[in-house]
Amino acid sequence: MSSFSQNVRSTAALAALLSIFGKAAMPSPAFAKAAADDGIPVRVVVHDEQKAPIPTAIIRQPQEADRHRVNAADGSWEASVLYMPDGSELKFTAGMTLNLEISAPGYTTQVLTYQVRKRRNQIDVVLPKITTDDSQIEEPTISFGRDEPRE
């Protein structure tokens, strides 16, 4: 066999393989519909007043039993579905109203209501620090029955 005919056969075989794998790599309409059924992703980014991420923040949906921690590096959390205590799924769909509680130790808790859109669902939440004035707090003296003042 000549080298020309071998090159033609190997090129044809390669073209056949590429066409097979090329079709397998492309998403089918059924796959696209299944991806749409998974819910719309919603991203929440939690930071303080100086725009620094709060690594200890917790995000919670009031009807859900779980608390979701944010990514400690950038203060973000993302989901497209939540799992309820009764075993049902709460999938985020366009137009639905989503209630979330965002809290962190040392910061004021925020409760927000968000209407989910088809795309670009990013919520930036700023948690203000809790400030306490310690100058007016007096420590109480607790006297016990057996305590007697020294002379």
> What is the pLDDT, as a whole number, of residue 147?
62
CA distance 64 to 55: 22
Token pair listed for 8: 């033609």
CA distance 118 to 133: 45
> What is the pLDDT, as a whole number, of residue 17?
55
CA angle 43, 104, 112 (to 5 degrees): 50
* CB within 8 Å of 35: residues ≥ 6 apart: 27
CA distance 103 to 54: 10
Which residues of the chain register pLDDT less than 50? Answer: 30-35
CA distance 113 to 127: 15
Domain 39-131 of CATH type 2.60.40.1120? yes
CA distance 146 to 20: 91
pLDDT (tens digit per residue) in 81-124: 998 888 889 999 999 999 999 999 999 999 999 999 999 999 99
> What is the pLDDT, as a whole number, of residue 41?
95
Domain boundaries, the chain: 1-37, 39-131
